[in-house]
Amino acid sequence: MSWSWKLGRVAGIPIYVHWTFVILIAWLVAAGAMANQSLARGLEQGGFVLALFACVVLHELGHALTARRFGVPTTDITLLPIGGVARLQRIPDKPGQELLVALAGPAVNVVIVAVLAGVFGVRLPSTAADTGQILHAGFWSKILLVNVFLAAFNMLPAFPMDGGRVLRALLAMKLPYARATRMAASIGQLMAIAFGLFGLSSGAPMLLFIALFVWIGAEAEAVQVAERAALKDVPVGEAMLTNFLTLRADDTLGHAADLLLAGAQQDFPVEDGEGGDLVLTRASLMSGLASRGPEAPVREFAAAAAAPVEADGPLVAAVGLLREQGVPCLRVTRQGRVVGLLTLENVGELLMVREALGKVGDGSVAPAGGERVY
């Protein structure tokens, strides 16, 4: 994830922290020190945030390590001020497996609560109902309360929380996967409406934020699964751009700009004469024109191209590669020869055509594909 720093690896999984998280810790330390005229109090608040996010990392590792048991790798885990993100490369193949992966994260928080309360005798703050007084509770009492909240909040039956995935997995045991996702997303959006109405009536802006978060997350999940259903059994060749142009490495950026303006193609394969696979993207072209002008050679701004995909291969997997690798296009080959380009714009146009023709799939798409967030 961009703007993140790598902390290290746990169980072979890279752990990153977003730069905004560091600002959050610094702000809490400073606020605590100024409010209590005590640096020790400020450091305690910073330590509490570090402990909190250690619990979040353990939560995400619960998802990641359970997914690994089912053969699903995790790309990385990133810490953000609003929580953690574990990026699984795909959803487990069976609803029962997805159910266990979704439950694993909250289960970690339940175990932490059980250890703190059952083994060490930590108790919830007596002022848990008063958010203004929670800040003055004991360190471990606050950690206990946070883990109770993490387990309970994540089990709400709404995407993108774990509870939404639990609900979807249970529904998918009886219904086609796409239909189960749509039903789970609808339930989550009804919950978002309830959060929003309650937030408006009670003057709680945080509930409005949560409502928006839940609504967007539910819709995004439903759209992605519906897309996979619509593209089920569709080969890459149906969506590729076949009328495309290539550049030579010694062509000028001005020539590339002329080709860009003359047609709909935005990214160009580059032949460098040395067997390398290069591509000049529209963004690189604009950057080169701004910094070096139209006479600069293409080779100075072309980047290594992503691995090609086969024209007869599944389009769903190719779309997953486009999103996972963050590349603008993929070269499409047949018997080792480049026969087309694939972009997300082409895929979107194919989806519109198939929808107009009524070719939208039967909703029984398998839960596989690109990167998934837990």
Give me the residues paired with residue 87 across strands: 76, 373
- Are the beta carbons of 351 and 305 closer than 8 angstroms? no
Q: Which position among 44, 60, 98, 345 bears the catalytic label? A: 60
The two structure tokens encoding residue 10: 């746990």
283 phi, psi to nearest 5 deg: -65, -40
- Are the beta carbons of 298 and 270 closer than 8 angstroms? yes
Comparing CA positions, the residue from 76, 72, 65, 152 lying closest to residue 104 is 65
| DSSP-assigned letter for residue 331 | E
Query: Which burial class, exposed, middle or buried, applies to 356 when counting CB atoms under 10 A from its CB (0-12, 13-18, 19+)?
Result: exposed
- Are the beta carbons of 365 and 354 closer than 8 angstroms? no
| DSSP-assigned letter for residue 305 | P
234 phi, psi to nearest 5 deg: -90, 125
- Are the beta carbons of 334 and 340 closer than 8 angstroms? no
Exposure on the CB side of residue 225, measured as CA atoms within 13 A: 27
- Are the beta carbons of 84 and 58 closer than 8 angstroms? no
As a residue count, the chain comes to: 374
CA angle (340 as vertex; 336, 344 as ends), nearest 5: 125
Three-state DSSP at 241 gives strand
Say which residue the tokens 């774990």 belong to.
Answer: 162
| DSSP-assigned letter for residue 252 | B
310 belongs to the catalytic site: no
Q: Cα-Cα-Cα-Cα dihedral of 67, 98, 195, 107, to 10°?
A: -60
Q: Which residues contact 39 (CB under 8 A, 6 or more apart)?
A: 33
Active centre residues (catalytic): 60
